[in-house]
Amino acid sequence: MPTEPPLTPELTPELIAELLARPTAVTQAEFLQQANLWHEAGLSQLLQTGGQLINRDLPQARQIFDICLTFAPELAPALHPQAIYLRAQTLALGGDLEQALAEITRAQAGYWQTGQTAAALRTDVGRLNVLIHLGRYAEALATAETTLNTIAQTPDLPPETAVLLTAHLQNNRGICHKFMGQYADALFAYKAAENQFRTLGQDEDVANIQMNLGVLLAELGHGREALAAYETAAAIYAQTGNQWRQAQNLENMGEVHLALGNYSQSLEAFAAARDLFAALDAPLEQHILERLTADAYLTLNLLPEATAAYRAAIAGLEAGAAPHYLAWALWGLGATLLRREHLEEAAAALERAAAIFAAAGNDHLRSAVLLEQAALAQAQGDRETAVQQTHQALALIADQEWPVQRVYAHLRLADLLLPDDTAAVAPLLQEAQQISDRLPLPHLRFRVQQRLGRLYLLQGREVEAEQMLVTAVAEIEQLRGALAQQSVRTSFLQDKTAVYTDLTRLYLARGDQASLEQAFNVAEQAKSRALVDLLSHGIETQLAQNLPPDLAERLQTLQADLHALYNEALRDSPEGDRAARLAELNTRATHLEEEISRLRLQANGGVLAGTWGHAAPLLHAAPLAALHPAGLPHVG
């Protein structure tokens, strides 16, 4: 008679906690024996429980897999590859990608050795995911092609298993094509995977496809359609309780809301994702979220805060060996430093970003970095190089459907050619307007409208220029109206004053009394809006109360360090090179001020989210230069 499988107890949270509390392998083995889990079925149940915990409690899942890895070779050799593969997943989620890749290879070899064909092929799904995060896109696509061919040539593979493996591989293939900017190929792969998942009734996998489609649609500028896809995914993740995917979905929603100008929704989504990732012990995702938060700061012209956030993200992403996300952060840092006129450091960051994107064959993001490098060349007075780099950026995306990138390239070229060559600029801006009118992206529209207004002014088309500039001002004011903090509203306007300037000049040129009054009204509009905001919301002078203890302690420590630097700067020491020492102190103080400002923003309701209309103004420490007594050299 066949041997009955041993009865195993229900693995309750209490039983798991008791197992994990055992400090040594010996005491763990004793507990498993006493709990009737010291056999293959018991180990299989442990692995299943760990797999369910990956997206809910990563540290606990990792502990369970470590225990299984210890005992599987003796207790259940056939389960050893599964334990290795599941452990590799936790390594990848924790950001240790190279080690995860090595463990996946080890697991696959174990599966082949034990004759587990389907499981061996399944490891290539995970391999693709890790290769994509490492920026090794060509290798990922080659792996997908080889594995799909193997599946097709394995007749004894159960049909449902073959379909499921194919669907997962097509999904990851789509992600890879998306990262390379090959959107048509990505869409084809996603749709193929979605159809297969629906056939199998795999709801959560359908949600994953919806989230991936949302990312693709967002990059194409279809923000509202992207949000609809994310909302579909969110409903499924809420039902299944997959907190990891919920956090990633919130992260993506925040990014789309930022592009759409929905700043409060964007920052609220980032704050909610941050809370989930913190509970899940997900350092790589937290670093990616830090970069997205930095993007929000940059959009709002909070440049010191953006600098600090980008640097924090870069430090974490370099340690985690995630080149695609690292390049994004370097690009953002370069753009921020350029705005702050730190040109040498900006050049270094942008050069690194461009090199990473070029190595990965990611033309659309390399094109975007080239536009930033063109702006840098223009700031350095090298207009010829700036024009050359802009044309190079356009050439990279000439044959692809990348509308947002094309608009920005046309705007950069228009800025370089105006006011001298209006004939060349006109078709550039007309195409940019046609594209931006199709996309629900207000931050794109007002930039196109401002350039068109300037072009019409230069061409003497006053009525059309006025209409375009007035429309652009209305777009900006509507966007700024979504921001509750006065200090953020003020900073938001910093790079948008050209619209107001051009409109003011138009009215001044007319010279009549009514036009002069209109010119005065436009010139004062930003200040008038600020006064309305102050009257509406009141002047709030206190930082948010009831800060988390760790955040309050960190702020206190940084402030103490900053005061110490100020005191040292004021100390009149005759030793060494005084100017060089002050320069060093100034650099350190600047970094501390950026970090303090960034944390204070975070303290105010998760980067201004959740306390709209009641957040305190930012309190910036005085710059080091302001504390220099008369007679001391100014360093800065």
What CA–CA distances, in Å, run from 329 to 174, 288, 344, 459? Answer: 23, 8, 17, 40
Which whole number is the average pLDDT over 182-195?
90
CA terminus-to-terminus distance, the chain: 86
| pLDDT interval class at 536 (50, 70, 90) | very low
> Quick one: average pLDDT of 481-508?
70
Give the per-residue pLDDT at 507: 83
* pLDDT at residue 158, rounded to an integer: 92
DSSP letters for 302-349: -HHHHHHHHHHHHHHHHHTT-HHHHHHHHHHHHHHHHHTT-HHHHHHH
Percent of the chain beyond pLDDT 90?
Answer: 40
- Where residue 484 falls among pLDDT bands split at 50, 70, 90? low
Average pLDDT over residues 183-200: 91
The pair of structure tokens assigned to 29 is: 């083995």
Lowest mean pLDDT among 5-9, 103-107, 623-627: 623-627
Residue with tokens 């103004």: 617
Please give the pLDDT value at position 489: 59
Res 446: pLDDT: 85
Residue range 299-318: average pLDDT? 90
Q: How far is it, in rounded angstroms, from Cα 307 to Cα 297?
A: 9
Which residues fall within 8 angstroms of residue 599, CB to CB, at 6 or more apart? Answer: 551, 554, 555, 558
Percent pLDDT > 70 in the chain is 78
User: How does pLDDT run across 342-383, given as a tens digit for each residue?
Assistant: 999 999 999 999 999 998 888 888 998 999 999 999 999 999
DSSP string, 353-420: HHHHHHHTT-HHHHHHHHHHHHHHHHHTT-HHHHHHHHHHHHHHTTTS--HHHHHHHHHHHHHHHTTT
pTM recorded for the entire structure: 0.65
The count of other CB atoms within 10 Å of the CB of residue 491 is 19
Greatest mean pLDDT among 443-457, 473-487, 616-630 lies in 443-457
Average pLDDT over all residues of the chain:
81
pLDDT digits (tens, 9 = 90+) for 253-307: 999 888 888 888 888 899 899 988 888 888 888 899 999 999 988 888 888 989 9
Q: Which helix (H) or strand (E) holds 123?
A: helix 117-133
User: Is the predicted pLDDT of residue 534 greater than 50, yes or no?
Assistant: no
d(C-alpha 166, C-alpha 306), whole Å: 41
